């Protein structure tokens, strides 16, 4: 009976997804546009629709009201470059090319989300922060399936919100408004302009756009958060200046989302566009900014550079009118590396080989899905750390030979109580998984803490 039930379950899921893909691929139905909106260090608790009480995010909240909130969605990593590498390649940090914030470029043989859409006849673009290949390398967007690029190739360059130049395609383009120390052109406003232009130019054909803000990222060297102005509703608050800037950056990001969604509606393609809103990792602690001031981690343990939930669980919304349920919330877990195979399923194309992700298209569409394979993360900035989610069990360890901490996320979402001593069978199962979870990397070798 158990085998029969499993066959029935898989068959039912397959037929539902096939029906959705067939509908999308029908000549009478336009193939959907896909937009991924990516925040930078936006915490799980920074949005009103995810529990924020102070910072105003009305446009993103409306996006959530018209779509589904995913309360257990995970970024690729706890810092930006590897997180984005997981999203682009469909691989977790045990296999993806870029496993840390270093100048390692993607290679031609790496799977690419951009290439998937490009080969399917989509016009593709990434606007904003890239971080997966320096000029002249194989990792630049034009060699990873993106027809258009405007923004920062380098994540350190992205620490300057008033740059004197940005890259357009494979060349540098000067920004005269910011020369001689002037602050006349805010990069994220330029990204909005470029994204709206891309949408307008491609309104009659299917397109794939990654709109990658660099806010509300705080910048350690400058000890500030760059934003053109303090929003009127925050100016008289009895807050530190840095927190007014943080709130203003989040609200500006929200306003950009509102502008983008309004343009889709004006062009009559709102219903033809699947929008994924998320963040690259958890909130950052950069003195004098305090991520606790606005409860940015939403009550979870950890922040950016931690493999606890606060560092990798990110606020995520999927909206597609008539396909994705409006005003819904889902606790089904999925991760950045699932976006590529899900997109392949949606397009009716085979996913590239070597994927760690699985299609969660049924989850986006509010239908039943098979249990997700184990989730894996590794982090190289403080020695070598690993984390695994397997069902509702979450394991973290801080060195290769260190003990596993074990948490039951169902009863302990804040990861407050290590129950490894009570569940040796679970830790043994996770240890077995960890033995084959990753491949070696010449660029990111295992280095233990001193």
DSSP codes of every residue in 167-193? EETTEEEE-GGGGGG-----HHHHHHH
Residue 134 gets which letter from DSSP? -
User: Boundaries of CATH 3.30.1120.10 in the chain?
Assistant: 382-434
Q: Residue 374 in contact with residue 433, Cβ under 8 Å? A: yes
Residue 25 pLDDT more than 50? no
* Backbone dihedral angles phi then psi of residue 335, each to the nearest 5 degrees: -140, 170
Residue 6 has pLDDT above 80, yes or no: no
Q: Give kind and range of the element (H or E) at residue 376.
A: strand 375-379
pLDDT of residue 168: 98
Q: Are 64 and 71 in contact (CB under 8 A)?
A: no
Residues of the chain with CATH 3.40.720.10: 30-370
Residue 27 has pLDDT above 60, yes or no: no
Q: What is the pLDDT of residues 349-401, one digit of tens each?
A: 999 999 999 999 999 999 988 899 999 999 999 999 999 999 999 999 999 98
Our CA angle for 248, 250, 251, nearest 5°, is 65
Q: Give tens-digit pLDDT for 156-168.
A: 999 999 999 999 9
Rounded to an integer, what distance in angstroms lies between the CA atom of residue 112 and that of residue 144?
6
To the nearest 10°, report the CA torsion of 226, 83, 375, 355. 150
Residue-level pLDDT at 7: 41
Residue 435: half-sphere exposure toward Cβ, Cα within 13 Å: 6
Q: Which of 361, 34, 342, 88 is nearest to 206 (CA)?
A: 34
Match 């949005």 to its residue by tokens: 47
> Domain spanning 382-434 has what CATH number?
3.30.1120.10
Between helix 58-65 and helix 241-266 the angle, nearest 10°, is 50
**Structure tokens of 258?**
């509102």
Of 387, 385, 391, which is closest to residue 371 (Cα–Cα)? 391
Phi, psi of 276 (to 5 degrees): -115, 120
What is the token pair recorded at 288?
Answer: 């004098």
Q: Which residues are registered as beta bridge partners of 220? A: none
Say which range, 9-18, 182-191, 303-312, 366-375, has the weakest mean pLDDT: 9-18
**pLDDT over 90 percentage in the chain:** 90
Residue 16 has pLDDT above 80, yes or no: no
Q: Which of 111-120, 362-371, 427-436 has the lowest mean pLDDT?
A: 362-371
Instruction: Identify which of 99, 100, 80, 96 has the alpha carbon closest to the alpha carbon of residue 88.
Output: 96
Residue 224 is given by DSSP the state: B
Residues 6+ apart with CB under 8 A from 319: 63, 66, 67, 68, 274, 275, 277
Give the pLDDT band of residue 12 (cuts 50, 70, 90).
very low
Q: Cα separation of 175 and 382, whole Å?
A: 37
Is the domain covering 30-370 a CATH 3.30.70.270 domain?
Answer: no
The lowest-confidence range among 5-19, 194-208, 342-356, 389-403 is 5-19
Whole-number pLDDT of residue 29: 55
**Looking at residue 338, what DSSP letter applies?**
G
**What is the rounded distance in angstroms from the CA atom of residue 123 to the CA atom of residue 198?**
9
Query: What is the SS3 assignment for 410?
Result: coil
Backbone CA torsion sign across 166, 168, 171, 177: negative
Question: At residue 18, does pLDDT exceed 60?
Answer: no
Lowest mean pLDDT among 8-12, 300-304, 325-329, 369-373: 8-12
Percent of the chain whose pLDDT exceeds 70? 93
Confidence of residue 47 (pLDDT cuts 50, 70, 90): very high
Average pLDDT for 412-441? 98
In this predicted structure, the answer to whether residue 125 has a pLDDT above a threshold of 90 is yes
Taking the C-alpha atoms of residue 40 and residue 49, their distance in angstroms, rounded to an integer, is: 18
């Amino acid at each position: 009976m158990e085998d029969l039930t499993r066959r029935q379950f898989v068959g039912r899921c397959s037929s539902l997804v096939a029906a959705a893909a067939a509908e999308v691929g029908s000549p009478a139905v336009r193939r959907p546009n896909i937009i991924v909106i990516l925040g930078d260090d936006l915490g799980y608790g920074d949005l009103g629709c995810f529990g924020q009480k102070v910072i105003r995010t009305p446009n993103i909240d409306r996006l959530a009201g018209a779509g589904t909130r995913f309360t257990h969605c995970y970024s690729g990593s706890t810092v930006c470059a590897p997180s984005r590498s997981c999203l682009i390649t469909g691989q977790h940090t045990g296999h993806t090319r870029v496993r840390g914030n270093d100048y390692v470029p993607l290679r031609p043989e790496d799977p690419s989300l951009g290439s998937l859409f490009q080969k399917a006849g989509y016009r593709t673009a990434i606007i904003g922060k890239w971080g997966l290949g320096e000029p002249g390398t194989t990792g630049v967007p034009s060699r990873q399936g993106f027809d258009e690029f405007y923004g920062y190739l380098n994540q350190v360059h992205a620490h300057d919100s008033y740059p004197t130049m940005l890259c357009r395609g494979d060349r540098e383009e000067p920004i005269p408004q910011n020369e001689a120390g002037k602050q006349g052109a805010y990069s994220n406003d330029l990204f909005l302009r470029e994204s709206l232009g891309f949408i307008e130019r491609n309104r009659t054909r299917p397109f794939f756009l990654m709109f990658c803000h660099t806010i509300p990222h705080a910048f350690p060297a400058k000890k500030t958060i760059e934003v053109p102005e303090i929003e009127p509703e925050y100016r008289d608050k009895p807050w530190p200046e840095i927190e007014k800037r943080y709130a203003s950056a989040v609200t500006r990001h929200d306003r950009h989302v509102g502008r983008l969604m309004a343009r889709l509606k004006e062009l009559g393609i709102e219903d033809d566009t699947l929008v994924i809103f998320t963040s690259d990792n958890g909130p950052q602690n950069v003195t004098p900014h305090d991520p606790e001031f606005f409860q940015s981690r939403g009550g979870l343990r950890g922040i950016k550079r931690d493999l606890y939930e606060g560092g990798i669980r990110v606020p995520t919304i999927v909206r597609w009118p008539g396909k994705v349920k409006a005003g819904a919330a889902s606790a089904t877990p999925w991760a950045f590396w699932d976006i590529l195979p899900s997109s392949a399923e949606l397009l009716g194309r085979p996913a590239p080989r070597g994927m760690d992700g699985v299609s969660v298209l049924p989850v986006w569409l509010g239908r039943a899905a098979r249990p997700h394979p184990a989730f894996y993360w590794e982090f190289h900035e403080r020695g070598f750390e690993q984390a695994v989610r397997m069902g509702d069990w979450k394991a973290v360890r801080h060195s290769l030979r260190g003990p596993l901490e074990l948490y039951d996320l169902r009863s302990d979402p804040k990861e407050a109580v290590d129950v490894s001593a009570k569940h040796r069978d679970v830790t043994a199962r996770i240890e077995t998984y960890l033995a084959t979870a990753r491949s070696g990397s010449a660029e990111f070798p295992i280095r233990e803490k001193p």
